[in-house]
Chain A
């Protein structure tokens, strides 16, 4: 039985209780410390990727005046920016960071089921980050193959970083996948095995559902990236021909015979599309909890929300070829993938409606986490709607190589998840550190980021419709583009630099609050889920003191009629709840 299994583990917990600074904060097996390590590392590489994007924007906005980016650098920056943001920041932060922190606390367990493997997962992740960053400094620099690394150009002379950059990139990806698999095994097993008594699956907060399902997707999808990375590495180093067709390069025959570049695209996107939802599902889950907590209302349609997460997860595996319309395919396949892509809109729309209906007549507190959560609804609807455009073959073909696509995917999987990341950090900051953040700074951070990103990406859609091509280092004199397109490009750059600079507010806030923030208390938001009911704040090693919590209700008993408080924590038994109704919230 699950809870006996945890009880069995009590002596193990004592066994690895950390003693020294090193075992407590460096080689730590505590899920909370590992979560912070994951988070800090991910944010660190994220800042590097942000700086890269600022340099690209400078080049695009003011090609005449900026001279420190040459075309090779530009492609290297694109590649590293994309890869870092998608994999090393968002995947690592949502699953390694929030997954690690929230799963044991929200499920009422003392730690991950395999703490040692959890620690190993972080250090292997750090290794992959170091390998990736090392590629900036090798001869030839990092790879400039684009974040999709399409062969044959990725490993052909002429692409920046073809000597070492691409090799390090592929190795780094393989190492990352090993790290993720170790972490993922832990997340799955902990959710299935180590929940506290009474925490049935359908009482788990949606954050856990989102992270759990995303982990399942990751475990099944990342092997596709692993296969393609290893095969391309073999093509590059041992001259196999998995992906490399018989080509001549600079008049010489490099010796490849009969590989299939399209095969790589299939494998890559078989990973690449679920990856979108590996990032999005945790965001969906977390945002549901933020909205419910700060609107003091139960989440609308909890079961529907869970099933929608599962449905999106399943569907995400049969839409991958919509990234390959321009590569050409049988019209029936195009029809199939367009249909499946549009079907995903159904469960996604259910989620959006339910978020909005959760806000409906709620007692909304516009605190910083809530602002970010509501901001997410806007940006996600926005990015989702342009996704409906691009899911159709006939609309995708002309738009695919324009800024419209850049605007679409940045809105849907750049801005939206990042808004949730910020909201979640502000929301759980009091629990992680025991200190309250500065609300005023937080609100400034939100408004400047939110409005700033719109100033970046709304005009980009328009540029896309005008036909401004993406991936170009500079537009030069292009007849079909009016001169005003470049003016708009410059304005976008100004907004982008503004948003990038705004993030300083976030770091100032975090550092200032760590030092001089007010003590937060154990449950500043009056939230119901278990992580807010720990005996200590921040929670100590083992989380729960002597006794594990027992769960009696779902995580959404807010504003239950007939109760004096507007929330009932999950570990309050029905007979102990103040006032007299037996079933909380059964209305």
Chain B
């Protein structure tokens, strides 16, 4: 359970540290008018940004738990390691490029270069779907080698980790599709830009999650 404890320690330290900072040295029993400047937004962020941060914390907890379970299981004597297909390197590369593409699009959204938005989104989507297709191909390779889901725990963990990571990406692609549809329909509004910015953060998050998973799978 080292993974989840480490992750939780970080999340809780950040969160509780912030709470304590807010609550230390206050005198709650004193009645007074709080000046406008004294009451900046608690996190200097808007609601959707906070919600995404919270959601990413929940997902981090989820993935850390699966990794902890994996680590815990590995310690038992009868562990048969799985040799990951080389295709995963290609997929990883694709996901890295997708993340860069999204960052490029995000910067365009911030700089207000509307013409770049749609191509950027299209490229990102294409790369993301390519990544998912690559993962499915990797599965097929494994199955062709007789490494099935029910074969042994290492296989099961591999399929499970890749599947949930893929599903999270697929969930992101739903938001991506809505934003792209609105862009294509010509709504170059603030809101589309907002969701592009948040989507980009989410893509980076999933890339980091994948790198940690992949690195850990490789090292074991």
Report chain B residues within 8 Å CB of A310: 16, 19-20
Closest-by-CB residue of A relative to B27 is: A586
Q: Which residue of A lies closest to B63 (CB)?
A: A223
CB distance from A173 to the nearest CB of B (A): 14
For chain B, residues 7 to 44, give those with C-beta under 8 angstroms from any C-beta of chain A: 8, 11-12, 15-16, 19-20, 22-23, 26-34, 36, 39-43
Q: A258-B153, A260-B76, A266-B1 are in contact. Are A220 and B22 (CB under 8 A)?
A: no
The answer, among A201, A259, A556, A582, for a CB contact under 8 Å with B22, is A201
The reply to whether A202 and B39 contact each other, CB–CB distance below 8 Å, is no
Q: Which of A231, A258, A263, A577 contacts B78 (CB 8 A)?
A: A258
Chain A window 292-306, contacts with chain B (Cβ cutoff 8 Å), 1 for yes, 0 for no: 000000100011001
B50 beta carbon closer than 8 Å to chain A: yes
In chain A, positions 193-216 with a C-beta closer than 8 Å to chain B are: 193-195, 197-198, 200-203, 216
Q: A310-B19, A574-B32 are in contact. Are A185 and B149 (CB under 8 A)?
A: no
Measured between beta carbons, the chain A residues less than 8 angstroms from B19 are 201, 310
Interface: B51 (CB within 8 A): yes
Beta-carbon contact of A202 and B51 below 8 Å: no
Select from chain A the residue with minimum beta-carbon distance to B37: A1
Contacts A223-B62, A263-B69 given; indicate if A200 touches B152 (C-beta within 8 A).
Answer: no
| Residues from chain B with Cβ under 8 Å of A198 in the complex | 33-34, 39
- A189-B47 contact, Cβ under 8 Å, with A219-B58, A226-B62, A266-B1: yes
Q: Is B156 located at the chain interface by the 8 A CB criterion?
A: yes
Residue contact A220 to B43, C-beta cutoff 8 Å = no
Q: A202-B22, A223-B58, A310-B16 known; A303 and B28 CB under 8 Å?
A: yes
Say whether B109 faces chain A, with CB atoms less than 8 Å apart.
no
Q: Which of B40-99 contact A (CB under 8 A)?
A: 40-43, 46-47, 50-51, 54-55, 57-59, 61-62, 65-66, 69, 72-73, 76, 78
For B153, list chain A residues within 8 Å (CB): 240-242, 257-260
Known: A198-B39, A220-B8, A270-B4. A185 touches B61 (CB 8 A): no
**Is B33 in contact with A552, judged by CB distance below 8 angstroms?**
yes
Q: How far is the CA of A586 from the CA of B34 in the complex (A)?
A: 17
Contact with B along A253-270 (1 / 0, CB 8 A): 001011110010011001
Contact assessment for A227 and B50 in the assembled complex, using a CB-CB cutoff below 8 Å: no
A552:B31 contact, CB within 8 angstroms: yes
Interface size range of chain A in the complex:
35 or more
**Of B15, B29, B43, B50, which is within 8 A of A585 by CB?**
B29
Residue from the list B8, B47, B76 in contact with A317, Cβ < 8 A: B8
Residues of B within 8 A of A181 (CB): 55, 58
Q: Is B189 an interface residue (CB 8 A)?
A: no
Is A193 in contact with B47, judged by CB distance below 8 angstroms?
yes
| B110 adjacent to chain A (CB < 8 Å) | no
Q: Which A-chain residue is minimally distant from B23 (CB atoms)?
A: A202
B1, B8, B16, B76: which contacts A258 (Cβ < 8 A)?
Answer: B76
- A584 on the interface (CB 8 Å rule)? yes
State the CA gap A12–B29 with chains docked (Å).
Answer: 35
Contact A306:B23 (CB < 8 A) given known A259-B153, A260-B72, A314-B12: yes
User: Nearest Cβ distance between residue B207 and chain A, in whole angstroms?
Assistant: 20
Q: Does A166 contact B (CB under 8 A)?
A: no
Interface status of A113 (Cβ within 8 A of chain B): yes
Q: Determine whether the beta carbon of A267 is less than 8 Å from that of B34.
A: no
A279-302 toward B: CB 8 Å interface, digit per residue (1/0)? 000000000000000000010001
The answer to whether B219 has its CB under 8 Å from any CB of chain A is no
CA distance A335 to B118 in the complex (A): 59
Q: Given that A114-B47, A220-B57, A583-B32 are contacting pairs, would A202 and B26 also be in contact in the complex, using a CB cutoff of 8 Å?
A: yes
Residues of B within 8 A of A (CB): 1, 4-5, 8, 11-12, 15-16, 19-20, 22-23, 26-34, 36, 39-43, 46-47, 50-51, 54-55, 57-59, 61-62, 65-66, 69, 72-73, 76, 78, 149-153, 156-157, 160
Q: List 23 A-B contacts (CB under 8 A).
A: A1-B36, A3-B39, A114-B47, A188-B51, A193-B41, A193-B43, A197-B34, A219-B61, A224-B65, A226-B62, A240-B149, A240-B150, A240-B156, A242-B73, A242-B153, A266-B1, A266-B69, A267-B65, A310-B19, A314-B12, A553-B31, A584-B31, A585-B29
